[in-house]
């Protein structure tokens, strides 16, 4: 993930916390000031980052010495306003070196003043963005984090570290009567207990109180999802035991990898009353056909595995810009796109989809099996002189509540095979959809072009035809009015794909994945458009088409009422 230009991180060494500079046009805000012994360096680094701008505000995530040690020096240099968490205010006012952890850790910090405070739930305007204040007690009792929904950036302070949560100091909270690996009770009376999955859950209380927060971390493993009985056993345990631990206001959080389509985590995402979010390592795949060439090089072990990997790396380095265009990954600093693509080939698509994409496949639910898809290359068949047909399933772009992508699908029909050459599925505004269609039409003219005609789409069809004429690219637009259920229409694609009567290109990844996961995929715009293309071509070719499915010979006739 690339940070917005307005957010600058100054990475520091031990013992100073990193400084975050939030820029606006004429001024800036700094989050955390580092350790006191490094104050002069901190001032110099911030002055360079400001480049003449005014430092309007200094904000602290918490008041440990490595986060507020440079406050006084920054105040002297820049005369800025200083804001701290509300819980820290009395400690700063009386300069309580024990509560501030200075005396305990044998550290020093220069005393400073503050102008105002903030607390959980507040919203701060910093660097042209709104940042929500989120309480994060643990490493420090009064610590907070700042989250910008617009930028999707979290400034966590010491609440989160690189490999987990910030350390909790017993000296800070006060060691209670119990301080073990599985159970701690702080001096303030807070109890935290860790329980293994095979241990009893019932009767967990702290005095008269039931738990008010229950966190389940990786409660599923391969064995737990191996069979339907095992999955049901875990589900019963969670709902009959774990979910009965708390009370009305208890918060339950479960996290982990979705290991099976019918697993507990997978089902919780669908259950009413539960809020969930599914993270994927790859957010947007490349559409470049070069990945197919790269894969052929990478898997060519006839020259030796190491030599094949070196050759694949060299190919990638030579074509990186094109191969990475349009890609997006969840955590680029840890797992970049190229690393993930290597993993996908080495570990296999099924493992990758489950472990990295949280998308385990249920073969029984999927209408189109992974082994059914047949691919073709440009030089494989001569399509010269064969009419080119296309369709679009347009969307409302950002106005759509579902934010559905639009699908432009095109191909030619020869030797009783539909050769797909365009499978462009993306989120875009209507004007961009029209531009893309006419660009394809300019490169390779369409004999006819179908547009699903329902409400907005009917207006879109008229607009597309007029815009094509306006640009001197006359386009034969055919309005498609579906008269049958979408799922029933998409099901007619099954024998076509299974028997290789529809063939795809390797870079048609989004279309193939929507088909592969259908009907469980997030979107079905691609399969819907593909079915429309198939039906439109059948109408223009005419005559019945015979195929075999489930051992019964059937005849598929043209859907005359489908088109108008």
pLDDT in tens, 354-381: 889 888 866 666 788 878 999 999 889 9
- pLDDT averaged over the chain? 86
Give the phi and the psi of residue 105 in degrees, each rounded to 5: -95, 5
Q: Is residue 361 part of a domain?
A: no
Q: Is residue 13 part of a domain?
A: yes
Which pLDDT score is estimated for 400? 42
| Cα distance between residue 262 and residue 362, in whole Å | 8
| Furthest CA-CA distance within the chain | 90
Are the C-beta atoms of 463 and 437 separated by less than 8 Å? Answer: no
Which pLDDT score is estimated for 545? 32
Residues 350 and 405 in one domain: no
The residue-averaged pLDDT of 164-193 equals 74
Per the structure, the count of domains in the chain is 3
Residues 383 and 335 in one domain: no
Residues 290 and 429 in one domain: no
The residue-averaged pLDDT of 224-233 equals 85
Residues 341 and 405 in one domain: no
Q: Is residue 543 part of a domain?
A: yes
Domain end position, chosen among 355, 381, 399: 355
Residues 429 and 344 in one domain: no
Asked if residue 554 has pLDDT above 60, the reply is no
Supply the pTM of this predicted model: 0.49
Q: Is residue 251 part of a domain?
A: no
Domain end position, chosen among 161, 188, 215: 161
Asked if residue 96 has pLDDT above 50, the reply is yes
The residue-averaged pLDDT of 170-176 equals 61
Q: Is residue 406 part of a domain?
A: yes
Give Cα 40 distance to the centre of its chain: 40
Residue 512: helix, strand or coil by DSSP?
helix
Query: CATH number, domain at 395?
Result: 3.30.420.240
Residues 471 and 389 in one domain: yes
The residue-averaged pLDDT of 533-537 equals 90
Asked if residue 31 has pLDDT above 90, the reply is yes
Residue 82: helix, strand or coil by DSSP?
strand
The residue-averaged pLDDT of 438-449 equals 95
Of 22, 69, 14, 24, the residue nearest 46 (C-alpha): 22
Q: Is residue 271 part of a domain?
A: no
Domain end position, chosen among 161, 191, 213: 161
Side-chain-facing half-sphere of 544: CA atoms under 13 Å:
7
Q: Range of 68's domain?
A: 7-161
- pLDDT tens for 305-330 read 899 999 999 999 999 999 999 999 99
How far apart, in Å, are the Cα atoms of 374 and each of 148, 205, 280, 476? Answer: 45, 59, 27, 30
- DSSP-derived letter for residue 563 is B
Residues 466 and 344 in one domain: no
Asked if residue 550 has pLDDT above 90, the reply is no
Of 181, 203, 208, the residue nearest 192 (C-alpha): 181
Give the model's confidence band at 520: pLDDT under 50 very low, under 70 low, under 90 confident, else very high: low
| Cα distance between residue 73 and residue 77, in whole Å | 6
Asked if residue 198 has pLDDT above 80, the reply is no
Give the model's confidence band at 106: pLDDT under 50 very low, under 70 low, under 90 confident, else very high: confident
| Pairwise pLDDT comparison (485 vs 414), residue with the higher score | 414
Query: CATH number, domain at 110?
Result: 3.60.15.10
- pLDDT tens for 426-442 read 888 889 999 999 999 99
Residues 444 and 341 in one domain: no
Residues 348 and 379 in one domain: no
pLDDT-above-90 percentage for the chain: 52
Residues 15 and 95 in one domain: yes
Which pLDDT score is estimated for 349? 75
The residue-averaged pLDDT of 325-351 equals 89
CB atoms near residue 50 (< 10 Å): 17
Q: Is residue 240 part of a domain?
A: no
Residues 408 and 299 in one domain: no
């Amino acid at each position: 993930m690339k940070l917005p230009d307005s957010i600058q991180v100054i990475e520091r060494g031990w013992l100073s916390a990193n400084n975050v500079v939030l820029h606006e046009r004429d001024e800036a805000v700094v989050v955390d000031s580092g350790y006191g012994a490094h104050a002069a360096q901190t001032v110099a680094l911030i002055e360079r980052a400001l480049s003449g701008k005014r430092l309007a505000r200094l904000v602290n995530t918490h008041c440990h010495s490595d986060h507020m040690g440079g406050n006084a020096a920054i105040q002297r240099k820049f005369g800025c306003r200083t804001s701290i968490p509300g819980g820290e205010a009395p400690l700063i006012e009386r300069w309580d070196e024990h509560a501030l952890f200075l005396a305990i850790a044998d550290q020093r910090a220069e005393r400073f003043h503050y102008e105002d405070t903030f607390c959980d739930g507040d919203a701060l305007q910093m660097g042209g963005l709104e940042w929500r204040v989120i309480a994060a007690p643990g490493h420090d009792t009064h610590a907070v984090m700042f989250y910008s929904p617009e930028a999707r950036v979290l400034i966590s302070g010491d609440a989160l570290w690189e490999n987990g949560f910030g350390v909790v100091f017993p000296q800070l909270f006060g060691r209670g009567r119990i301080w073990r690996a599985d159970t701690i009770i702080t001096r303030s009376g807070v109890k935290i207990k860790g329980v293994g999955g095979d241990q009893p859950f019932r009767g967990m209380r702290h005095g008269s109180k039931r738990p008010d927060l229950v966190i389940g971390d990786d409660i599923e493993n391969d064995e737990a999802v191996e069979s339907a009985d095992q999955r049901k056993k875990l589900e019963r345990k969670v709902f009959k035991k774990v979910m009965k631990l708390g009370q009305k206001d208890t918060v339950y959080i479960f996290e982990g990898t979705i290991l099976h389509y019918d697993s507990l985590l997978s089902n919780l995402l669908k259950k009413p009353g539960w809020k969930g979010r599914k993270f994927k390592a790859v957010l947007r795949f490349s559409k470049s056909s070069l990945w197919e060439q790269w894969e052929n090089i990478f898997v060519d072990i006839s020259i030796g595995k190491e030599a094949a990997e070196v050759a694949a790396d060299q190919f990638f380095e030579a074509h990186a810009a094109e191969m990475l265009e349009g890609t997006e990954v969840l955590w680029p600093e840890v797992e970049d796109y190229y690393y993930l693509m290597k993993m996908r080939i080495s570990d296999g698509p099924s493992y990758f989809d489950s472990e990295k994409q949280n998308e385990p496949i249920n073969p029984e639910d999927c209408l189109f099996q992974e082994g059914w898809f047949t691919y073709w290359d440009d030089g494989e068949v001569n399509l010269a002189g064969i009419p080119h047909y296309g369709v679009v399933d347009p969307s409302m772009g950002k106005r759509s509540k579902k934010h559905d992508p639009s699908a432009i699908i095109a191909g030619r029909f020869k030797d009783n095979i539909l050769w797909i050459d365009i499978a462009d599925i993306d989120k875009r505004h209507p004007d961009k959809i029209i531009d893309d269609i006419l660009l394809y039409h300019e490169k390779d003219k369409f004999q006819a072009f179908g547009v699903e005609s329902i409400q907005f789409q009917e207006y879109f069809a008229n607009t597309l035809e007029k815009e094509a004429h306006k640009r001197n690219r006359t386009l034969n637009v055919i309005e498609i009015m579906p008269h049958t259920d979408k799922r029933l229409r998409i099901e007619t694609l099954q024998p076509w794909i299974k028997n290789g009567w529809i063939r795809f290109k390797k870079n048609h990844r989004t279309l193939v994945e929507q088909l592969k996961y259908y009907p469980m995929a997030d979107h079905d715009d691609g399969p819907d458009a593909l079915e429309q293309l198939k039906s439109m071509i059948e109408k223009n070719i005419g005559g019945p088409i015979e195929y075999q499915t489930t051992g019964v010979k059937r005849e598929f006739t043209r859907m005359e009422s489908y088109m108008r």
